[in-house]
Structure 1
Amino acid sequence: MVDAAAGTARALASRAGGDEVRRLDAVVVGAGFSGLYALHRLRELGLRVRVLEAADRVGGTWLFNRYPGARCDIESIEYSYSFSTELQQEWTWSELLPGQAEIEAYLNFAADRLDLRRDIQFDTRVAAMTFDEADQTWLVTTEAGERFVAPFVVAATGILSAPLDPGIPGLATFRGTTLYSNRFPREGHDFTGQRVAVIGTGSTGVQAIPVVAEQAEHLYVYQRSAAYTLPSPARRYEPGEFEELRSRYDEIRAAQLLAHVGAARTSAFSVLTNLGGLPALRTASREAQLRAVEEKGVVGALYWSDVMFDPEAIRMATALYGEAVARIVRDPETAASLVPTYPFGCKRPIIDQGYYETFNRPNVTLVDLRKDAIQEITPTGIRTERAHHELDAILFATGFDALTGALTRIDVRGRGGALLRDVWATEGPVAYLGLQVSDFPNLFLVQGPGSPSAASNFLAAMEHHIEWITDCVAHLRAGGHRTIEALPSAQAEWIDEILALVNGSVLMHPDCNSWYNGANVPGKKRMYTTYVAGLPSFRQRCDEIAAAGYTGFKIG
């Protein structure tokens, strides 16, 4: 791995040219999974490429989100690059569901094995990207004032890379240790003997809370919205188990291509994607319902064919889930507070390792913010409506401005000076195929609004997106074309199709406030933006569009 000093030295050395503008064939923003693959593919086309990365090393989301308990919810053998036989055969995964450290190590391995670092500029944050209509190129400007000009930009900025500000009064006055899950100290933090608060009980909080509870003298969990969380199958591989799987990579990858979410094996989507053929909750006897909970715990409360669409089944599933939680959490008031109020399936399922059991520990207190809201952070702790909790450390796990946040924090201007953040603020997070936004030629998004993104195995969907983008670039260059951009009509029709897919489902339920629809970000236009008809269908649509001469795009 490249250390911080080496990354900084490389960045400073590259800036020695002062006001010089560097001309390239393509600029890639971000050096996570998407950026590394984009660089590899573009280099294979013979292009001069530069990756601009704000961090001091590769890793993207898996570099910054190194909080205690951070783990993927898809099997390692499927949450990995499929394009390279060498990477598959030379890397050995140690766990069924990989942890953050192993994923970060894997990305460094891939960067070294593919010799990618020489075209990555670390410690470089992009401040602005402006399309020059006369020259038909993008001017990319960094915070340090460097300028790069290229006809193509690939925004590999990630769907969960723009953290939300907690926005709690008094935060700056706190004299203890303030920690953020999305930029947790690289050296870790020892909570032993400390009074700790974790604010947020989404996926991050659910993963971190059991780990922190084992160390802390006392842990206060501040919960705004209870979540559905299911027991994780995470474990280490048995001796020889991974080696046997590795020998079947071709078979596993073929199954991935056919799988609705791009994951044919264990994943967070297992419950959602395996409901077909099951009995309906609404017509099940009380004995059958209780038997399901006794045999499968919280999963048994949700594993019914009608829990995603039938309003009465949705209500019944939530009640049954509450009964399952009450069988685990001994304190009745705490158990009741841990029952979600939104319909199951409207948010990505969370998997946990002993989350509910953690609330039976004598050193853990749940603070239900629906009953006891935070008033302010004080120099010594947190004041709610009912109490003041003395604290030594606060860990914020308050989520992300998903899908669009990373790009709206950059000044991105297309034709006629159109500002991308303004387009998304007024029209909602629109894009055609999740690949391009109208009036922003040659700017390719990776898993942008309108893509499978959060409703899929990100890596499986991302690889197809990168391959489509690079094939498109090759097509343009071979034909002597300079630009490609989404037509407004095609973009509008695509968004209408996405909304039609979720109409009447729990995803559009009025109580469903999630980062899927932007409701977790104050002021963000609420709109569902993820393609849910499945990866096989999405790949087919994208490939048909390309084969037909890029239907819905204007080539100049």
Structure 2
Amino acid sequence: MTIEPGPARYDAIVVGAGFSGLYALHHLRGLGLRVRVLERAHNVGGTWLFNRYPGARCDIESIEYSYSFSDEIQQEWVWTETMPTQPEIEAYLNFVADRLDLRRDIAFDTDVVAMTFDETACEWLVATAAGESYAAPFLIAATGILSVPLEPTIPGMDTFAGTSLFTSRWPEAGADLRGRRVGVVGTGSTGVQLIPVVAEEAGHLTVFQRSPAYTLPWTVRPFAPGELDELKAQYPQIRAAQREHPVGAARLSAFSVLLEMLAKPPLKSASREDRIRAVEERGIMGALDWGDLFFDIEANRMAAELYGEAVARIVTDPATARALTPSHPFACKRPIIDQGYYQTYNRDNVTLVDLRTDPIVSVLPTGIKTGSEIGSGVHELDVIVYATGFDAMTGALSRIDVRGRDAASLGEFWATEGPLSYLGLAVAGFPNLFTIQGPGSPSAAANFVAAMEQNVEWIGACVSYLRRHGYRTIEAQPDAQQNWMDQAAAIVESTVLVHPSCNSWYNGGNVPGKKRRYMGYTAGIPEYRRQCDEIAAQDYAGFTLA
């Protein structure tokens, strides 16, 4: 008689080895727990491992988009630029994994396919694609908010005879685009970063734009000699300022610029002369830097017109400039930093196709066909690059078969009820499952690393409390969950963030069939932390402990 081996048992299982998973492993291990991290990739890095497309860069300053829990790490690591590129962030996470000896507790190339809560044993059973099984009373989903790319479904994609590339899984060895006819589909944050870099290398670049982007012109530079050392000496003050800042980034960032706009004069009361002067003096930022854009859709539309005028001062072809002018409200999508994006369209080797007026019909063996007339609008290409966005916040866990009480499916719950959670940390009906940066957390509107550290530390304190007091389960209460999401929704109710014309990953509108709900918590990290701490101090109010 053969006895099948049981699952490998731990005190906690963490799914994912990106920023969140690495810190969760280190923090929980420091609390005395036996922890196993399951990571589907061959290495650490999460989103920053896969999204290695040319131009990939963070929009938070490097000294703030980094772990704050270890002074040794922040003093030892050497950033080279004010805002880090993908290779530098990937190298940083590898440095942290080695410096803290984290790899010994990570199972790489381990694709989690199912997670089931055993109500009798009060533990989670985790199954992998390779048939391995793990068990632990606590399960931490560090699966990322932008880790599941949206695969385009354009007819004929599989017939293309050239090279098809996806920004979310760019070849590790890179791609040689020199002299080639390249098409880029998508002009979100990824496309805006990618397009200027590709244009310098490609023989000809054709950009297929469905939704024009608002961008914030930015200067990224290498640190001057001695500058980083001076900043490191100020880390206590920098981290203290971060902790009190609403978006967790006290220095210059795309998010902090948006906050500063709130204090500016209203656009609607500005004279035409004042508006033109703002554009003449500050270009695109002059078109956007007004205080009423977030709450007044009419002011927002006026800003869009002014933005178009600013773009027309950069882009020499009037038709291209008009096509680059956005039609959705400013700020309803994630802000994008811009390094020479509009100037790229003045190059002789760059063509813009506006899909609002000339939609893609199909991919052909030789390129992409647009328009509706047979035989017209064929763009001959050697390479097609797809930069088509993400199923954010809930996408990763929805693609795993997660079963809670009574075998309820998490994916089905979110599909029918919408992306609900309590604090962004737990979902009713799924005991002992902690979600880092889930719906209702500040992640979408903040410095991810600063918000994530708070999540991990709160989870660690919660698990310690449960173990210390002999509780076996903790579960979000449905009413508390709904109240929390209602509170988050009320904060943005009077803003353009929820305007029906905006299809953003913030609200799930970019994913066909996804139930729309603004998924972020925008009252700021300090207020979020205060409420989380208050709930914990009240013996985890809104949770059922058993």
TM-score in terms of structure 1 length: 0.96
2:253 paired with 1:267? yes
Q: Deviations over 1:189-240 (max 9, x none)?
A: 1110100000000000000000000000100000000010111221111111
2:463 paired with 1:463? no
1:292 alignment partner AA:
A
> In 2, are the aligned partners of 1:163 and 1:401 still within 8 Å (CA)?
yes
1:530 to 520, 528, 534: 520
* In 2: Cα distance, 1:18 partner to 1:199 partner: 49
Determine the structure 1 residue equivalent to 2:133: 147
2:538 to 528, 538, 548: 548
2:374 paired with 1:388? no
Gaps in structure 2 of 5+ consecutive residues? none
Q: Within 5 A, what are the aligned runs for 1:108-119?
A: 108-119=94-105
Shift of 1:18: 7.8
2:49 paired with 1:72? no
Determine the structure 2 residue equivalent to 1:180: 166
2:27 paired with 1:41? yes
* In 1: Cα distance, 2:515 partner to 2:530 partner: 30
Q: Aligned in 2, Cα 1:96/1:18: closer, same or farther, shift over 3 Å?
A: farther
**Secondary structure of the corresponding residue to residue 533 of structure 1:** coil
Q: Deviations over 1:248-277 (max 9, x none)?
A: 000000000111100001111133100243
Determine the structure 2 residue equivalent to 1:10: none
Determine the structure 2 residue equivalent to 1:165: 151
Determine the structure 1 residue equivalent to 2:470: 480
**Secondary structure of the corresponding residue to residue 444 of structure 1:** strand
2:278 to 292, 295, 299: 292
Q: Aligned in 2, Cα 1:18/1:31: closer, same or farther, shift over 3 Å?
A: farther
2:343 paired with 1:340? no
1:25 to 8, 11, 17: 11
> In 1, are the aligned partners of 2:262 and 2:292 still within 8 Å (CA)?
no
> In 1, are the aligned partners of 2:332 and 2:502 still within 8 Å (CA)?
yes
Q: Deviations over 1:141-167 (max 9, x none)?
A: 000010001000000000000011111
> In 2, are the aligned partners of 1:408 and 1:420 still within 8 Å (CA)?
yes
Determine the structure 1 residue equivalent to 2:348: 362
2:465 alignment partner AA:
H
1:447 to 415, 437, 445: 437
2:387 to 394, 397, 417: 397
> In 2, are the aligned partners of 1:19 and 1:146 still within 8 Å (CA)?
no
**Secondary structure of the corresponding residue to residue 76 of structure 1:** coil
**Secondary structure of the corresponding residue to residue 376 of structure 1:** strand
Shift of 1:30: 0.3
> In 1, are the aligned partners of 2:297 and 2:329 still within 8 Å (CA)?
no
* In 1: Cα distance, 2:18 partner to 2:297 partner: 40
* In 2: Cα distance, 1:403 partner to 1:310 partner: 27
> In 2, are the aligned partners of 1:230 and 1:351 still within 8 Å (CA)?
yes
**Secondary structure of the corresponding residue to residue 91 of structure 2:** helix
**Secondary structure of the corresponding residue to residue 466 of structure 2:** helix
1:22 alignment partner AA:
A
Determine the structure 2 residue equivalent to 1:95: 81
* In 2: Cα distance, 1:532 partner to 1:370 partner: 31
Q: Deviations over 1:379-412 (max 9, x none)?
A: 1111111410111101100000000000001000
> In 2, are the aligned partners of 1:18 and 1:146 still within 8 Å (CA)?
no
Shift of 1:19: 4.8
Determine the structure 2 residue equivalent to 1:135: 121
Shift of 1:312: 2.2
Q: Aligned in 2, Cα 1:164/1:19: closer, same or farther, shift over 3 Å?
A: farther
* In 1: Cα distance, 2:411 partner to 2:111 partner: 18
Displacement over 3 Å in runs of 4+:
17-20
**Secondary structure of the corresponding residue to residue 237 of structure 2:** helix
1:519 alignment partner AA:
G
Q: Aligned in 2, Cα 1:106/1:199: closer, same or farther, shift over 3 Å?
A: same
2:47 alignment partner AA:
T
Identity %: 66
Determine the structure 2 residue equivalent to 1:240: 226
How many residues in Structure 1 have an aligned counterpart in Structure 2? 540
* In 1: Cα distance, 2:211 partner to 2:124 partner: 42
Gaps in structure 1 of 5+ consecutive residues? 1-16
Q: Deviations over 1:156-179 (max 9, x none)?
A: 000000011111111111111110
* In 1: Cα distance, 2:369 partner to 2:5 partner: 51
Determine the structure 2 residue equivalent to 1:429: 419
> In 2, are the aligned partners of 1:20 and 1:146 still within 8 Å (CA)?
no
RMSD: 1.0
2:497 paired with 1:511? no
1:490 alignment partner AA:
A
**Secondary structure of the corresponding residue to residue 167 of structure 1:** coil
* In 1: Cα distance, 2:319 partner to 2:497 partner: 29
* In 1: Cα distance, 2:219 partner to 2:417 partner: 41
Determine the structure 2 residue equivalent to 1:3: none
> In 1, are the aligned partners of 2:249 and 2:256 still within 8 Å (CA)?
no
* In 2: Cα distance, 1:414 partner to 1:264 partner: 39
